[in-house]
Amino acid sequence: MYIIQNALKNLVRNRSRNILLAAITFAIVTTTVVTLMISNTSDRIIDEYRRMFGTEVTISRNLERFIEMRNQGDAERGIEITHAQYIAFAQSDLLQHSVLMISAMVNSETMRAVGQTDAVIAGGGFVSAPTMVLQGDNWADFANGYRALIEGQMPERAGEAIIGTELAELNGISVGDTIRLYGMVMTQAAGLVNPTVYNLIITGIYYNADAVTDGTIAWGGTITNRHNEILTVFETINSASAGTTLVATYFLHSPAYLEAFDRELREKGLHPIFDVSTDEDAYNAIVGPVEGMRDIITTFMIIVLVLGAVILILLSSIAIRERKYEIGVLRAMGMRKSRVALGLWCEMVIITLVCLIIGIFVGSFIAQPVSDRLLAHQIENAQRLQETGGNFFTMQIGEQSRAMDTSPIDHVSVAVGWSTLVQIIAISLLLASVAALAAISRITKYEPIKILMERN
């Protein structure tokens, strides 16, 4: 307690010198508060956007490479990615997430499709042409507001499904009923192969918004009427049966993983005629400005901390050397070196804590304007990209595509979180300790007699 009381008295006695130290410390602490607030908030926003969007991977056929390999006899015309490969590609630790949607064209011996004008039933218990679509894991319209479950619950396991209100009313189907659907017929040299049979328990009924049916192709018959879509989980549909279509969309954790993901797909059998690429421009258009601002502010913080530490060490060294006689008297009176050093360290820590309290309040007020100004500059670069590349890109999910706005993040709400507060306190105390201990390390090496003799 005596050491702290003496430290407070010394701060008052040497207030002119300590005001200078406090001014430098305040500038460093305030800068650290601003930079850490912006940096940590930026990291959080970037992580959120990565979780939301990831980095979409595109697997496309390289026509030039195909022609070249075909001329060399190394490629056949019918090379395609199999359903099994699409599923295997999704089992990668490099992916943030993947979207697999499978659909099968089906028919029924008892159900009439919405818009169906006849019910010609062929032999064998199935209609000759498909009239409905069974879709697995196609839930995009529920997220964007075009569909809503109004009765029952969503399917949770294989063999469960939900249907639209129009299809349910037309066929008198209720929650809990079981329906039987037939997949398309496969033909072989020996003749017809029995179709896949789907016995499905109806767990819910969903409502279709009008926008869902926009763009229905009239000449496509009932198969293109989206009221005839029966929704189930991915595992229900037999991906090896005829008439099934699988669409896969993959999202990497980061564009940096593209090369490793490409190698992994090749090991899993992806043919060389296919290219693996990402829409990195769209990803950068969204989070690029925030990443750029974070990098600038982090670099600035490091420079300020390094230069600030050097300045504080020099000022502390000069200040303590002027107090060498005081230290010599304390040592001559029997005070141990450790207690002398502790008293000097307490003085620096008290100055830092006062500056820290004020700096947090001041930094909280100026962090938002600083963030807005830096982000505005970064957005200018992103807008140039948008002017040349467009404002939207699409992600194909099944038979639908949804547009995702690639407008850059134009505002970052900066706030002081508990983790940021702990970091600010830790850095401030570390800075004060380094400045104080580096300065007093030389003084405490002198013996009291030598200090007093030099004073004389």
pLDDT in tens, 60-107: 888 787 777 777 665 555 678 888 899 999 999 988 888 899 999 999
Phi, psi dihedral angles at 84 (to 5 degrees) = -60, -40
Verify that 159 and 299 share a domain, yes or no.
Answer: no
Residues of the chain with pLDDT under 70: 1-3, 6-7, 10-13, 48-54, 72-78, 118-128, 186-193, 210-220, 279-288, 321-328, 330-331, 334, 374-375, 377-416, 439, 442-456
Residue 138 lies in a domain: yes
Residue 72 lies in a domain: no
Verify that 152 and 206 share a domain, yes or no.
Answer: yes
Domain boundary among 249, 268, 298: 249
Residue 266 lies in a domain: no
Kind and range of the H or E run holding 387: helix 337-389
Residue 368 lies in a domain: yes
Verify that 312 and 214 share a domain, yes or no.
Answer: no
Give me the percent of the chain exceeding a pLDDT of 90: 19
* C-alpha–C-alpha distance, residues 413 and 408, integer Å: 15
Q: Which domain range does residue 144 map to? A: 99-249
Q: Which residue has the tokens 């037999």?
A: 238
Verify that 226 and 300 share a domain, yes or no.
Answer: no
DSSP 107-148: E-SSPPPTT-----PBTTTB-SS--EEEEES--HHHHTTSEE
* pTM, full prediction: 0.54
Instruction: Residue 387: count other Cβ atoms within 10 Å of its Cβ.
Output: 9
Verify that 323 and 394 share a domain, yes or no.
Answer: yes
Q: What is the pLDDT of residues 424-434, one digit of tens each?
A: 888 888 888 88
Verify that 361 and 442 share a domain, yes or no.
Answer: yes
Verify that 288 and 435 share a domain, yes or no.
Answer: yes
Nearest Cα residue to 98 out of 234, 275, 260: 234
- Residue 198 is given by DSSP the state E
Verify that 305 and 407 share a domain, yes or no.
Answer: yes
Verify that 292 and 227 share a domain, yes or no.
Answer: no
Phi, psi dihedral angles at 21 (to 5 degrees) = -60, -40
Domain boundary among 195, 222, 249: 249
Considering its fold, how many domains does the chain have in total? 2
Verify that 237 and 293 share a domain, yes or no.
Answer: no
Residue 87 lies in a domain: no
